[in-house]
Structures are given as structure tokens and as C-alpha cells.
Amino acid sequence: MSIPFTLLCNGVEKSLADWGLDDLHFDWYNLAPDHVAFMLGGRPVDAASLFPFGAAVEIWQGRSAIGVGGKRWFCGRVDPWEMAGGGRDKPYENQMGHLVGPWWWLENLLYQMTYISNAGILYSTPRAVLNVAYDPVTTHWKWLTTGQQIAAALQWAIGQGAPIQIGNIAPWASPASNYKQGIYCSEVIQQMWRVESDFVGVWDYSTLPYPTIHFLKGSAAQLDPSLSPAQQALLLLAPKNIPLDSNPWLGKVRIKTRPDRIKAYVRIFYDQITTVNQTQTLTIAVDQYPNPAPADLESKFRGLDLFFDLAGAKIAATFEEDLLTSTPFDITSLAQWQIWRPELAAASVASVVILNAATTPPADAGHPAPALACRDTDNNGNPVPYNIACAFELLEGGFHDWMQFPGQKVRATAWAQVTYKAPVGTTPRVECKQLNYDFTAIALNTNNVPSNVWTFTQTVQEYAEPQPVGVAKALYLALQSNAITGEIDGEEQELSNAIGFGNCLNFITPSRPEWAALNSVVQNISGSALKGYSQIKFGEPLHLTAQQNVDLQRVCRLRVPSLNLAFLFGGVLNSGGGTVRHPRKTHAHASQASTPQKLSDAVYASPNPDTETNPAKMGAIVIDPNVAAVPLGDQAPLITISASDVLAIDALNP
């Protein structure tokens, strides 16, 4: 003999009687939490709850022994319990336990949408645009049907740890996107129901390890026509034919016809404004089912007319230009350095030699030959090597991201021997700077192209929303399925579990032959599992509020136009086009506009016997060691250098 029901919690499984449970009352809804309640008679109100809040609970049916056979009838989590006492002559104490089904997970988690940043990084946010998703595999955005959006909400919940599995999903309409902030996963599914309100959420608690939820429909006419019959069969509810003139159904069915819920047609107007630079164009499209609509007077006043404001495309063209004036340069050329350093071309300078390894006298081994060092760094602050292709100095103009050539800011360096003429009025002799090997430097912008006019034209756009597909038909058929509403009471054991959410209902009666193919969906089942009675409510979802039913009539009017779709595709663009001409920019050398400074003594490892042995001559101009010495007391000429030279020497030669 099988055990009717057992309950498993925290690894302990016992029959309901062994747990002390008096009854097992259930109340299950379409697209809402399933609830199970039971009484623990005589349990003190101040006693701890039999099962801790939030604990996972499984109820099994038809076990041959504890933990053996049967199928899982329900699984959920423990909700807060009720404690109650009463009675005057005979006081009593009871506790009422409550369990809630896996829809709870969907009601308590905000749906988050995955975006991609400008840096290519994926991130998630509760700012969601329904029926749109980013595909990281193809790196493109895609539009989602109602079924795909339902699956996306379920996948997000599962990814966060919700213990549920995804089954077959029948909804297939392609509605317009809808921007939402802070919407729960359960609300995402209910939003899809507002567009396509003829599907039912069917929980299969028997699947392991987690229950599976399916979203099914009652008729193949309400399914995607591109599917094969075998594929459609997986998405259909099992029909249940109920004869209204025979037992055991006779007297147990109450039906209320709802002709007011039937619409003669559904017509949706789609308005879309396309903007090209400063010109706007309005496009109006119409989706209607059936088409043509009935033309009789009654039908004209019993249709459903809806309006969508779709986000249109915005296209803007921008033209930019800039003139770059460039000239080639050679850091090993004296003439080049005399352009950069005008003081080297002064009349008092007898000669200037740019030193390198082959120069006579030999260059100081402790100093580099003429070279270019790049001053640019990457995003992490690391030095960037100099690009040898940058052989032109930029004199005027500026670099821009849209220019397809490399440009760099570099520091040119050189070691020079400078020989000066003797001062006027003294015995002619050759004099030189204190240090024969003199360091000089300059900063400049370089690029790899000669003078040229650069232009750039860019056409940018915001993406338009595509026109929804199949929404009018989906709404029309969904409303027809709610043509009647009613209840079925089952008081005998044989009626218990005879009808479930996996069934659609047809009623057999000679006077209403159209009811034989009604395919009405179940919206609520309640009853007692132990006592064998149940009540089934079908037709429109009565558990949704009256306001929600009104909202269904104006489903499109409540929508926020998703103009922010541009953010999903790379950002909002400027509203108009035009031409941008960049102002001229002259590139000043680092040596210009500087204050003359007297060079302080700086040997830099270059031996100079005069300054090393005669402190009185520190920082003065001395006679070349290869020529006769200057008598003590003679006036020595000074060389003028810029403040930037001193800073460059200090920076590059610490």
C-alpha cells in the first residue's frame, strides 16, 4: 500500500501523519506563487515553527516507502507561520504552516539587462529595455520575441541561483521594446502576458533536481506558424473535454459568458519619426487582425485600437577639416639646430660641431649621440617608443583621432662643441665654452606626412526600432480565448487532480457547438489534497487586479517610447550635421620666449683642468686648453642660454 503524501525537509522525510499535519490545502495560480498550507492542531502558539523560515520543502505523492518511488507533488520554501489560540470552555492552540512555490524566486529578484561599455566590457543593470538583448557571441544587439524575453528573465534568475529549470515556451509575438527601471523577473513575464495573454505557466514539480516551468497555449492557431507540427505539439496544453449533460460533471460547472471580452478586430498604429540632419519624416504603419476588419456597425464599435510611438532613426553627417603644415628635419644637421636654437647662429659663435662617436675630438663616452626620445605614454603611463616614420616636424595644425597617421610629441637631443670668437678689443684668440661637450635639447611635435589638408566626413545614426510583428493577431486570439469564464467544483476523490494547469478546457453541449473548441485555460486551482476536493477557475486570470485587466485594453498606451535605444548601440548622437574647421595652432619650440641665464658650472664627467684646479674660474668662459692660457684677470666672454636648456639638462641628466 502506497503512502499518499510524505514531506521532506532538511534531510528528514516522514508521512504527513508522522509530522502531525492535519490537512494539505493548496492554492495555485497562473503566473503567481503557488501556496500550500497545513494545520498542526494542538501545537502551542509559543512553540518554534516545525520547519524554519526559508527552508526547502518537498512533498511527494505515492511513495511505496519513505524515500522510495512516487513522484514529487510540490516543492517550495517555508513562508511565515500563523499561531492561534481560541475556545472558551475548552481552550486550544494551533499553528498554521505555509509553503510558497518557486515563483517566489522570480518575485524577489530584479531583472537585469546586460550591456556593453565603450571599452568592450559587459555589465548588468536594472535599467532594462524589454524585448532587446545584447548577444556577446555575435557582439550585436538583437530583438526578442515575447517567448525569448521570458527565457531571458528566467535565465537571469537561474544565473543568480534560483532553483528552477526552463521548459517549453509557446509565446512568439515580436512587440516593440519597452523601457523599464527596477522590474522584477516575475513582472517581466507578466509584461509579456499583457501582449499575449493566452498562455499559461505550468509548473512540473516532478522533474529533478529542480521544478520545470513551461509556458503553453491551448490551440495550434495561437502558435508560431513556422514551427513543424511536432514542434507545436510540445507547446500545446492537453485538451480536456467536459460534457455538461452527464456525470460526474453535471452540476459542478458554473459558466459566465464574456462577450464583452471578444473584440471584432485588433488594430495597432505605429508612428515613427526619422530624422536626417535637420529634416524629420513621419511614417505611419498599421498592423490589423483580421484584415480586412468586419464592416458591420456593431464591429466598428467593438474593436480594439492601440497606438505605439516607435523610436525612429536619426542620421547626421559631420564634415571636419584641418591644415597641417609640416617640414622635414634632421637632428644631425647643424643648420637644423641653428633653426631650433638661434643662439647657435650668432656672430660671436665661430663654429658648432654636433658630436657623435665619429667626431674629432672624440665624443664623451658618458653622453649619448644625437637621438630622439618620445615623450608620449600609453593609457597606463608607460613610455612609448619613437616611431622613425615621424620624420616631419609639425609647424601648424593639430592632431585628431580621425586622422589616419601616427603623430608624436618628441624631445630631440644633441651634444655640441661650441667655439666662440674672442671679444672685441682683445688679442685675437680662439675661446670656447667651459665644457667642450655641451648638451642641448628641444621639444617638438612630429608626424609622418608633409604639409596637407586633411578632411573627414562621418555619418552617424541612432538605430530605429523595427515594427512589431504579429502583435495584433496575438492580442485578438488571446481575447477570443477568454470568451467564457467560470468555475468547476470537484467534491469526489475521482475529480481530484483530474484537471491541472497543463489542460485546456472544452465544453460539450449541443446548444453551444462552438464551446467544443474553446480551449479555455486554467487560471487557479485550489482544494485539499487529503480530502479530495478541488475548485478550478478558468477563463480570464481573476487573480490579476481589475486595473491590470483595464491595462490590457490599453497595453500600448502605457508604453514608454524607447528613445534610449541609442545608448544600447553606442550612444546618443548629435541631432544635426555640419562642417567643423579647426582653428590654426602654431607649435612653439621649447627654447622660445625664455629668459637668458648664465650657465653654472656643470662638468658632467667631462674633464676640464682649468675649472677643476682653479676655483676662481668656476662658471666662467676659459681659453681652449689647446691654446695659450688667458692671463689671470682678463675679462672672459659669457654665453647666453635659455632657461629651458637648464631645465632640460637637469631633467635628462640627474
Q: pLDDT at position 399, please?
A: 79
Q: pLDDT at position 417, please?
A: 66
Higher local confidence (pLDDT), 575 or 210: 210
251-262 average pLDDT score: 84
The CA distance from 411 to 406, in Å, is 16
Tell me which DSSP letter residue 586 carries. Answer: B
Residues 94 and 111 in one domain: no
Residues 475, 196 contacting (CB under 8 angstroms): yes
- How many beta carbons lie within 10 A of that of residue 351, not counting itself? 13
Higher local confidence (pLDDT), 237 or 117: 237
Residue type, 210: Y
Reported confidence tier of residue 432, pLDDT bands at 50, 70, 90: very low
Q: pLDDT at position 211, please?
A: 97
Residue type, 519: N
Residues 562 and 625 in one domain: no
Tell me which DSSP letter residue 398 carries. Answer: -
The CA distance from 328 to 309, in Å, is 59
535 belongs to a structural domain: yes
Least confident window among 48-62, 388-402, 504-518, 561-575: 561-575
Per-residue pLDDT tens digits for 141-175: 788 999 999 999 999 999 999 999 999 999 999 88
Q: pLDDT at position 652, please?
A: 39
Q: pLDDT at position 648, please?
A: 43
Residues 116 and 242 in one domain: yes
Give the orientation angle of helix 185-195 with respect to helix 146-159, to 10 degrees: 170
Q: pLDDT at position 317, please?
A: 78
Reported confidence tier of residue 315, pLDDT bands at 50, 70, 90: confident
Cα-trace Rg, the chain = 43
Q: pLDDT at position 430, please?
A: 34
576 belongs to a structural domain: no
Q: What is the 3-state secondary structure (H, E, C) of 20-82?
A: CCCCCEEEEECCCCCEEEEEEECCCCCCCCCCCCCCEEEEEEEECECCECCEEEEEEEECCCE
The CA distance from 72 to 63, in Å, is 9
- How many beta carbons lie within 10 A of that of residue 291, not counting itself? 11
292 belongs to a structural domain: no
169-190 average pLDDT score: 91
74-99 average pLDDT score: 79
Q: CA 626: distance to chain centroid?
A: 76
Tell me which DSSP letter residue 331 carries. Answer: T
275 belongs to a structural domain: no
Q: Is the pLDDT of residue 451 over 70?
A: yes
464 belongs to a structural domain: no
100-106 average pLDDT score: 97
Q: pLDDT at position 292, please?
A: 92
Residue among 80, 99, 83 at smallest CA distance from 40? 83
Reported confidence tier of residue 19, pLDDT bands at 50, 70, 90: very high
Residue among 653, 642, 638, 640 at smallest CA distance from 602? 653
Q: Is the pLDDT of residue 477 over 70?
A: yes
Q: pLDDT at position 123, please?
A: 83
Residues 528, 489 contacting (CB under 8 angstroms): no
240-267 average pLDDT score: 84
Q: pLDDT at position 584, please?
A: 60
Residues 219 and 157 in one domain: yes
Residues 593 and 557 in one domain: no
549-554 average pLDDT score: 46
Higher local confidence (pLDDT), 491 or 621: 491
Q: Is the pLDDT of residue 264 over 70?
A: yes
396-403 average pLDDT score: 81
Q: pLDDT at position 404, please?
A: 79
Residues 11 and 115 in one domain: no
Residues 142 and 252 in one domain: yes
Residue among 152, 147, 149, 158 at smallest CA distance from 215? 147
Q: pLDDT at position 112, please?
A: 95
Residue type, 11: G
Q: pLDDT at position 421, please?
A: 59
Range of the domain at 510: 107-262+469-568
Q: Is the pLDDT of residue 380 over 80?
A: yes
60-77 average pLDDT score: 94
C-alpha cell at 502: 497543463
Q: pLDDT at position 579, please?
A: 59
Based on the structure, what is the number of domains in the chain?
3
Reported confidence tier of residue 433, pLDDT bands at 50, 70, 90: very low
250 belongs to a structural domain: yes
The CA distance from 241 to 261, in Å, is 23
Of 538, 568, 598, which residue is a domain's last?
Answer: 568
Residues 248 and 111 in one domain: yes
Reported confidence tier of residue 654, pLDDT bands at 50, 70, 90: very low
548-561 average pLDDT score: 46
The CA distance from 227 to 230, in Å, is 8
Q: Is the pLDDT of residue 613 over 50?
A: no
315 belongs to a structural domain: no
Residues 447 and 592 in one domain: yes
DSSP reduced 3-state for 593 = coil
Higher local confidence (pLDDT), 58 or 276: 58
Q: Is the pLDDT of residue 250 over 80?
A: no
- Ranges 121-125, 234-238, 408-412, most confident: 234-238
**Alpha-carbon dihedral angle through residues 618, 619, 625, 629, given to the nearest 10 degrees:** -70
The CA distance from 206 to 75, in Å, is 9
Reported confidence tier of residue 601, pLDDT bands at 50, 70, 90: very low
pLDDT over 90 percentage in the chain? 29
Residues 143 and 232 in one domain: yes
The CA distance from 108 to 119, in Å, is 32
The reply to whether the predicted model has a pTM over 0.85 is no
C-alpha cell at 223: 502558435
The CA distance from 194 to 258, in Å, is 18
Q: Is the pLDDT of residue 647 over 80?
A: no
Residues 347 and 239 in one domain: no
Q: CA 356: distance to chain centroid?
A: 58
303 belongs to a structural domain: no
Q: Is the pLDDT of residue 103 over 90?
A: yes
Residue among 152, 234, 232, 143 at smallest CA distance from 189? 152
467-495 average pLDDT score: 77
Q: How far apart are the first and last CA of the chain?
A: 96
Residues 411, 372 contacting (CB under 8 angstroms): yes
String of DSSP letters for 456-493: EEEEEEEPPPPPPBSHHHHHHHHHHTTSEEEEEEE-SG
Strand pairing category for 238-243 and 503-508 = parallel
Average pLDDT, the chain: 76
Residues 92 and 156 in one domain: no
Q: pLDDT at position 605, please?
A: 28
Strand pairing category for 371-374 and 640-641 = unpaired
Of 539, 568, 597, which residue is a domain's last?
Answer: 568
Q: pLDDT at position 438, please?
A: 55
Higher local confidence (pLDDT), 188 or 620: 188
Q: Is the pLDDT of residue 258 over 50?
A: yes
Of 542, 568, 594, which residue is a domain's last?
Answer: 568
